Amino acid sequence: MPSSVVLVHGLRTSATMWRTQVAALEAAGHEAIAIDLPGHGARMGERFTLAGAVEAIGDAVGAARHPVLLCGFSLGGYTSIHYAGLAGRPIVGLLAASCGTRPYRVVLDSWRVAARVIHRFPDRGLALNNWAVRLAVRDPELAADVIVGGVALEVMDDALQELRQLRPVASLARITQPIWLVNGTLDHFRLEERRYLAAAPDARLIHVPGATHMVSLTRPREFTRILLDAVDSTAA
């Protein structure tokens, strides 16, 4: 039975980061809907708000042709958990990757300060961002997938401020659909993954050995297999 998968990208990236997963889902007969959040990709000129992110996810879910598995990475994982934790969300499952630590205000504010310093660079930090992506994602084609949709340099302050509103543990406790929490074993964002797991009524924690924060790009085959297994599980 075909399913629809709504894919939600990370901070500063865009829908293009999901090229590998979109191709695999479509080859398996599923509908893949990779969206751009406000302030990212094709929506680069907009301001990022949490309400806007929820609306973008909801629009994609509403447009899907089949039952929806929602899949989010990092910022997309946080916003997807928040969306799914709101009442009456019409999804059959959630895969949340690389978002296993609550967004503490002191950490968010520290990142905001760092982002403001980087924005003083002549290129607003574009070269530094792209260097970091290529360092983390060793495959040149996969690194290009992250960059080609545009780098949302101006979104940092808005996004980090909006993330203060999130309470992922409380949101997970309200989600009755199956949840896959997927983290690389080398990801610095997995510190509270066990708290997440304990909060959710129906969740499983999956580690991808050797993967860093950008799990879908540093271990694409392993991540894609997990995603396809989740789709098959919810479609059964």
pLDDT tens string 159-197: 999 999 999 999 999 999 999 999 999 999 999 999 999
Phi-psi region of 139 (alpha: psi -120 to 50; beta: other; left: phi over 0): beta
Angular region, 185: left φ>0, alpha ψ -120 to 50, beta rest:
alpha
pLDDT at position 110 is 85
Q: Which sequence spans correspond to the domains of the chain?
A: 4-235
Per-residue pLDDT at 115:
80
* Cα–Cα distance list, 24 to 38, 49, 100, 234 (Å): 26, 31, 25, 17
pLDDT band at 106 (very low <50, low <70, confident <90, very high): confident
The two tokens of residue 44 are: 């680069």
* pLDDT value for 190: 95
Mean pLDDT of 29-34: 98
CA distance 82 to 88: 12
Is it the case that residue 236 has pLDDT exceeding 70?
A: no
- pLDDT of amino acid 31: 98
pLDDT recorded at residue 109: 81
- Six-digit token string for 172: 């997970």
Handedness of CA 191, 193, 194, 199 (dihedral sign): positive
3-class SS letters over 108-127: HHHHHHHHHHHCCCCCCCHH
Q: What percent of the chain has pLDDT over 90?
A: 82
Q: What is the pLDDT of residue 221?
A: 97
**By C-alpha distance, which of 8, 68, 1 is closest to 28?**
1
Average pLDDT for the chain = 94
pLDDT digits (tens, 9 = 90+) for 205-230: 999 999 999 999 999 999 999 999 99
In what order do the strands lie in the sheet containing 93-97? 31-35, 4-8, 68-73, 93-97, 179-184, 203-208
CATH classification for the domain delimited by 4-235, as one of 3.40.50.720, 3.30.1490.20, 3.40.50.1820, 3.40.50.300: 3.40.50.1820
Q: Tell me what the mean pLDDT of segment 1-24 comes to.
A: 96
